[in-house]
Amino acid sequence: MIEDVGRRLSAFAAETLTNVSFCFKTVVSDLKNLKTDSFACEFLLLLLLGNNSKIVSFCLGISIVLKKKGGHRPEFCIILCVYSSKMALAFLRGIHLNPSMLYPSSYFSRKHGVLYCCMRSAQTQTVTQEKEQTKLKVSTQSQPKAVDKFLKDFEAVIGIETHVQLSTLTKAFCSCPYNYGSPPNTSVCPVCMGLPGALPVLNLKVIECAVRVGLALNCKLSLNSKFDRKQYFYPDLPKGYQISQFDIPVCSGGYLDVDLPLEYGGGHRKFGITRVHMEEDAGKLLHTDGGNYSQERTPPSHLNILVDLNRAGVPLLEIVSEPDMRTGIEAAEYAAELQRLVRYLGVSNGNMQEGSLRCDVNISVRPIGQLAFGTKVEIKNLNSFSSMSRAIDYEISRQVQLHNQGQVEQIVQETRLWEEGAQKTVTMRKKEGLADYRYFPEPDLPGVTLTEEYVDSIRESLPELPEDKRRRYEKMGLSMQDVLFLANDINVAEFFDATLSGGADIKLAANWIMGDIAAYMKNGKVTISEIKLTPQELGELIASIKDGTISGKIGKEVINTLAYSLLHESNVLFHFLNKQIVDSAEIEKMVDKVIADNPKQLEQYRGGKTKLQGFFAGQVMKESKGKANPKLLNKILLEKLNAQS
């Protein structure tokens, strides 16, 4: 019985709105006939619905049936995609469920509906629609056991401090170059080593990068700002203080637009930016065993800890968000959008694996309805966006469990380390307050003054930003899935735009880049900037396929040739066009042979089954090993098939 229902539900997903009433009666009838035990079998219900009054009735009707049959939690998976979140909530209220209760990272979209995942338990939830281009997946290994209780009574408040390492030729306050991976302590001088008497000189490129980022984040710029000393003691901080900005940051009060991925419901969010300020990086501690250590996991006494000062003095921008995020997915998508932004602006490569973009997440939980924030905990060692999402979900559940157990006093202001292997956070050190840093103005550096003319010149030089590019691609008629993929990487976006500039078909260009070219890049572990095919050649390839000069099979062969590095001349397409058979006599011989070998199909074609033309064309292409010119082939084939008919 359950298999029959599954088939009916699948069929329902493909029905049009005009058949909603019929499908409603059919599905409800099947659900009523099921035994309660049958709900132990999980199945998928996919509803793709529009803004129609009948839909509301359907949602409420199904809700009543599910509530009667499955109790307070139906034990199967539902994905509900409706026109408005109002309809989604009507459905969910009908079965007395809050999707966030079961899946902390679910999201309600104002425009595109809601993605709702519900499996047998909170521990075994999985996302049922995965998209490669976002690379954001929520691990459920450490999902909280008390998630139901948590999301019923509490909400998370999340803010992120992002450190962006700037791609300048020299460090922030000296002329030392910095290259990731250089031998330890080879890019140092008296200034970045903190030797007595060495004085800093500001790299003006740092100011330019800060202004570019501030404008892109819609911030208010401080025309007069200054540097301050942030004082703390750590082995990788040679001066005993960090040159930073305290009370007058260069940028403040902005926001970042984010399009959430489709597999988490889609939709558009705007996250506030508190401030952007300039500072210098610290050095790096290297444990000889390569491990990370905390108060819960101290290094063994025999372990050597080395200090590499190559990174000391490298320019940073610290971007502090407002506490506007509520889930791990929102936080990860905010960070991913910030990475895209700095890459589009050209101020940083944003590579997390190199430490060029580092995110410290601040999390607190509070009872729903309470305005005051809870005690803030900072999480470090987040080396990927997926790690960030998992760490946030774990930390939220840890704090909520302490609330529920009446041990709120154990939530203290501290810095915790995310351990990827153990999938948990551990105490690293107690978090300092602002007073502990003893900020005061930097006496060795003058203030920073910006003129309106300087700011305007930078504003005019800004490139098209990710948000603007996505909106432009949407206006071209591309789907949101295509838009998110193409705009995700600035190099892919530029390749796509360059292909279109030659007059290529928009959808075909997107399909080729997202299909064969993306597969080639993935398999060859190369970027789109490293492939041998140029945008102009792709445009020619698409035009040749569209007008029938070459077949799609030949087009794929072009890409495959690149993948196996068999061709090194610049004009790849020219090579393949020269391989084509364009001799009419030669193609005519092959057509005659195919027709002679298939008399039965010829008789059927001339009897009215004209679709068999495709069969004959395929046989000729097979005979020519894909080299026959499609346009010429079809012309000769039609003449032969229709002769004496």
Would residue 450 count as lying in a domain? no
pLDDT band at 595 (very low <50, low <70, confident <90, very high): confident
The pLDDT value given to residue 298? 59
| 123 and 159 share one domain | no
For the stretch 330-358, pLDDT in tens is: 999 999 999 999 999 999 999 999 999 99
* pLDDT over 60 (residue 134): no
Of the residues 81, 112, 129, the one at which a domain ends: 129
For the stretch 584-594, pLDDT in tens is: 888 888 888 88
Cα–Cα distance for residue pair 258/268, rounded to 1 Å = 6
| 416 and 526 share one domain | no
Residue pair 512/562 in contact by the 8 Å Cβ criterion? no
Q: What is the dihedral of CA 364, 367, 370, 376, to 10 degrees?
A: -10
Q: What is the dihedral of CA 85, 321, 222, 175, to 10 degrees?
A: -140
What are residue 183's phi and psi, to 5 degrees?
-55, 145
* pLDDT over 50 (residue 127): no
| 188 and 276 share one domain | yes
Residue pair 301/289 in contact by the 8 Å Cβ criterion? no
The pLDDT value given to residue 479? 92
The pLDDT value given to residue 563? 57
Would residue 578 count as lying in a domain? no
SS3 letters for 380-418? ECCCCHHHHHHHHHHHHHHHHHHHHCCCHHHCCCEEEEE
pTM as predicted: 0.70
Q: Encoding tokens for residue 199?
A: 């004085």
Of the candidate ranges 347-361, 384-398, 545-559, the one whose mean pLDDT is the lowest = 545-559
Q: How far is CA 340 from CA 272, 351, 388, 429, 458, in A?
A: 17, 10, 17, 31, 19
Would residue 148 count as lying in a domain? no
**From the CB of residue 451, how many other CB atoms can be counted at a distance below 10 Å?**
9
Of the residues 517, 545, 572, the one at which a domain ends: 572
* pLDDT over 70 (residue 140): no
What are residue 11's phi and psi, to 5 degrees?
-65, -35
The pLDDT value given to residue 622? 82
| 291 and 399 share one domain | yes
| 71 and 169 share one domain | no
The pLDDT value given to residue 514? 94
Of the candidate ranges 316-330, 397-411, 516-530, the one whose mean pLDDT is the lowest = 516-530
Cα–Cα distance for residue pair 85/83, rounded to 1 Å = 7
pLDDT band at 12 (very low <50, low <70, confident <90, very high): very low
Q: Of 223 and 640, which is predicted with more confidence?
A: 223
Q: Would you say the C-alpha torsion 9, 13, 15, 20 has a positive or negative sign?
A: positive
Would residue 125 count as lying in a domain? yes
- Mean pLDDT over 85-89 rounds to 50
Q: Of 231 and 105, which is predicted with more confidence?
A: 231
**From the CB of residue 362, how many other CB atoms can be counted at a distance below 10 Å?**
20
* pLDDT over 50 (residue 10): no
For the stretch 402-435, pLDDT in tens is: 998 999 999 999 999 999 888 999 998 887 777 8
Cα–Cα distance for residue pair 152/102, rounded to 1 Å = 10
Strand segments (E) across 187-340: 220-221, 224-225, 228-231, 241-244, 251-259, 268-280, 284-287, 305-308, 315-321
* pLDDT over 50 (residue 136): no
| 258 and 367 share one domain | yes
Residue pair 230/241 in contact by the 8 Å Cβ criterion? yes
Of the candidate ranges 46-55, 357-366, 417-426, 507-516, the one whose mean pLDDT is the lowest = 46-55
User: Kindly report the CA angle at 306 between 302 and 308, in degrees rounded to 5?
Assistant: 170
The burial of 501, by beta-carbon neighbours within 10 Å (0-12 exposed, 13-18 middle, 19 or more buried), is given as exposed
Q: Of 255 and 42, which is predicted with more confidence?
A: 255
Which residue type, as a one-letter code, is found at position 361? V
| 225 and 343 share one domain | yes
* pLDDT over 50 (residue 137): no
Would residue 454 count as lying in a domain? no
Cα–Cα distance for residue pair 204/212, rounded to 1 Å = 13
Q: How far is CA 341 from CA 54, 164, 237, 369, 468, in A?
A: 43, 11, 29, 34, 11
**From the CB of residue 426, how many other CB atoms can be counted at a distance below 10 Å?**
16
Would residue 137 count as lying in a domain? no
Of the candidate ranges 140-149, 504-513, 571-580, 588-597, the one whose mean pLDDT is the lowest = 140-149
| 12 and 88 share one domain | yes
pLDDT band at 36 (very low <50, low <70, confident <90, very high): very low
The pLDDT value given to residue 135? 35
| 113 and 249 share one domain | no
The pLDDT value given to residue 33? 54
Q: DSSP letters along 88-115, please?
A: HHHHHHHTT--HHHH-TT--EETTTEE-
The pLDDT value given to residue 451? 96
- Mean pLDDT over 6-27 rounds to 46
Residue pair 441/408 in contact by the 8 Å Cβ criterion? no
* pLDDT over 80 (residue 92): no
* pLDDT over 70 (residue 229): yes
Q: Encoding tokens for residue 486?
A: 């193409």
* pLDDT over 90 (residue 644): no
For the stretch 528-544, pLDDT in tens is: 988 878 898 889 888 88
| 248 and 363 share one domain | yes
Would residue 550 count as lying in a domain? yes
* Maximum CA extent, the chain: 100
pLDDT band at 112 (very low <50, low <70, confident <90, very high): very low
* pLDDT over 80 (residue 527): yes
β-pair type (315-321, 268-280): antiparallel
The pLDDT value given to residue 100? 39
Would residue 89 count as lying in a domain? yes
Of the candidate ranges 49-63, 124-138, 286-300, 613-627, the one whose mean pLDDT is the lowest = 124-138
Of the residues 441, 472, 494, the one at which a domain ends: 441
Closest CA to 478 of 490, 467, 468, 486: 486
β-pair type (414-419, 424-430): antiparallel
pLDDT band at 304 (very low <50, low <70, confident <90, very high): confident
- Mean pLDDT over 69-78 rounds to 41
| 238 and 331 share one domain | yes
Q: What is the dihedral of CA 605, 610, 613, 615, to 10 degrees?
A: -70
pLDDT band at 625 (very low <50, low <70, confident <90, very high): confident
What are residue 321's phi and psi, to 5 degrees?
-85, 160
Q: Give the structural domain span for 377.
A: 155-441
**Length reported for the chain:** 645
Of the candidate ranges 210-219, 414-423, 426-435, 564-573, the one whose mean pLDDT is the lowest = 564-573
**From the CB of residue 223, how many other CB atoms can be counted at a distance below 10 Å?**
13
* pLDDT over 50 (residue 60): yes
Of the candidate ranges 159-173, 225-239, 547-561, the one whose mean pLDDT is the lowest = 547-561
Percent of the chain residues past pLDDT 70, beyond the cut: 71
CATH of the domain at 590: 1.10.10.410
The mean pLDDT of the chain is: 77
pLDDT band at 302 (very low <50, low <70, confident <90, very high): low
pLDDT band at 101 (very low <50, low <70, confident <90, very high): very low
| 163 and 268 share one domain | yes
11-23 exposure pattern, b = at least 16 Cβ within 10 A, e = fewer: ebeeeeeeebeeb
* pLDDT over 50 (residue 104): no
The pLDDT value given to residue 197? 93
| Number of domains the chain contains | 4
